[in-house]
């Protein structure tokens, strides 16, 4: 536990206390970039999101409305070759991304007044997990993406009270947390249920910070195959390694 939080203190960036402004275009680029951040480098994904918003689907001045009424074959064509002649998505997501984008557009128009800022607006600190839950209702946005989006919005943009809300954010037991906590010996099984039960017993002061640290260690060192033991900050305390 101490080693995990020490990694957090050395590596995390500060939580925002002030809410930062999101223009509609910036919010759309954030949302598309987040959807694209699967099976490709983060930098490319977020840049591609920005590029899409700057170059497509703004003829009628309503990005999501336009996607929702555009034929899927046209969306597929734009996705396939619209990013400097390449696909916006990469690897296995090339087939699902256009469908998920259209589905997200319909949901945004129908449930969020065509404005993705409404997915995270009007949420107070005590109900901050609502942001995560809302993201997860979109097709193609799983546990990890929903968690990442919630975390960036709250920590970096001061949404839902920013720093005030971190004590209300719960641990999300995705595959990184399951794998790392199981290997560390902090969960009996590599399952979401075991993580939730065991993390509950830890009585964490800040579950969100713990979550961030374990998730990052899972991404950077504790690979499913051939974990990078020698560079891992938990090497000296990890049950699997000892």
Q: Tell whether residue 234 is a contact of ligand SF4 (CB under 6 A).
A: yes
Convert 129-142 to b/e letters by CB count within 10 Å (16 or more is b): bbbbebbbebebbe
Q: Tell whether residue 187 is a contact of ligand SF4 (CB under 6 A).
A: no
Find the part of the chain contacting ligand SF4 (CB under 6 A) among 31-39, 119-127, 190-198, 226-234.
226-234
Q: Which CB sits closer to ligand SF4, 95 or 219?
A: 219
Q: Tell whether residue 186 is a contact of ligand SF4 (CB under 6 A).
A: no
Q: Tell whether residue 220 is a contact of ligand SF4 (CB under 6 A).
A: no
Classify burial at 104, counting beta carbons within 10 Å of its beta carbon; exposed 0-12, middle 13-18, buried 19 or more: buried
Q: Which CB sits closer to ligand SF4, 101 or 184?
A: 184
Q: Which CB sits closer to ligand SF4, 184 or 195?
A: 184
User: Which segments of the chain does DSSP mark as H helices, in order?
Assistant: 2-11, 24-36, 42-55, 63-69, 72-81, 93-111, 117-120, 129-136, 143-157, 175-184, 192-202, 207-220
Q: Which residues bind ligand SF4 (CB under 6 A)?
A: 180, 183-184, 217, 221-222, 227-229, 232, 234-235, 238, 240-241
């Amino acid at each position: 536990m101490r080693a995990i939080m020490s990694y957090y203190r050395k590596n995390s960036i500060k939580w925002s206390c002030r809410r930062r402004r999101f223009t509609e275009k910036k919010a759309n680029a954030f949302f598309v970039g987040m959807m694209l951040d699967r099976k490709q480098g983060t930098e490319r994904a977020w840049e591609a999101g920005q590029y899409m918003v700057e170059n497509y689907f703004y003829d009628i001045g309503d990005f999501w409305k336009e996607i929702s009424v555009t034929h899927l074959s046209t969306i597929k064509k734009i996705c396939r070759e619209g990013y400097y002649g390449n696909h916006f998505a990469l690897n296995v997501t090339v087939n699902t991304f256009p469908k998920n984008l259209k589905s997200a557009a319909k949901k945004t128009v129908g449930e969020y007044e065509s404005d993705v800022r409404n997915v995270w607006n009007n949420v107070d600190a005590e109900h901050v997990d609502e942001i995560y839950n809302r993201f997860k209702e979109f097709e193609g946005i799983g546990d990890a993406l929903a968690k990442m989006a919630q975390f960036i919005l709250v920590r970096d943009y001061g949404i839902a009270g920013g720093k005030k809300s971190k004590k209300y954010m719960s641990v999300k037991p995705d595959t990184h947390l399951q794998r790392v906590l199981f290997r560390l010996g902090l969960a009996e099984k590599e399952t979401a249920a075991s993580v939730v039960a065991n993390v509950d017993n830890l009585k964490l002061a800040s579950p969100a910070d713990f979550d961030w640290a374990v998730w990052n260690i899972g991404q950077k060192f504790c690979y499913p195959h051939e974990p990078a033991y020698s560079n891992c900050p938990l090497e000296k305390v990890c049950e699997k390694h000892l």
